[in-house]
Amino acid sequence: MENAVRKLQDHRKLYTIGQVLTVLKPEFGDLSPSKLRFLEDQGLVTPERTDAGYRKYSENQIERLRVVLTLQRDQYLPLKVIKEYLEELDAGRQPLLPAASPASLRKGQRFSTAQLKAETSLSDQAFKEGAELGL
């Protein structure tokens, strides 16, 4: 039985860091080998290692990287929060992701009036007063 499992594992497609970059770079243009190593150091992904110590990523690990990078880019979540979310998923639970706080929004990002009110919880009156003041 153990040999059968090992044979199945040997036939899985595994990717080098360079191949992972080729897969993910179109979606995450600033991705680099050092970023992949950093995410591993933070415990967000655990690629397999060859006997020579090279990292090999499974398709599941690539998908996990895609989730991490998307949450970081689109939700502005800190890695600690993303790690906790992944740990909950790994444990078989269905965790909810916290919404990005207004303080975590990127400088210069533009919002519609409705989005701004939703993000800041401003009342119509407070929004109107802020607009009148030129904020």
Task: Report the percentage of the chain scoring pLDDT > 90.
Answer: 58
Confidence of residue 29 (pLDDT cuts 50, 70, 90): very high
**pTM for the structure as a whole:** 0.66
Element (H, E) at 2: helix 2-10
What is the spatial distance between Cα 77 and Cα 105, in angstroms, rounded to a whole number?
10
Question: Which pLDDT belongs to residue 12?
Answer: 80
Question: Which pLDDT belongs to residue 50?
Answer: 95
Task: Report the percentage of the chain scoring pLDDT > 70.
Answer: 72
Check whether 118 has a pLDDT greater than 70.
Answer: no
Judged by DSSP in three states, 99 sits in coil
What is the spatial distance between Cα 86 and Cα 71, in angstroms, rounded to a whole number?
11
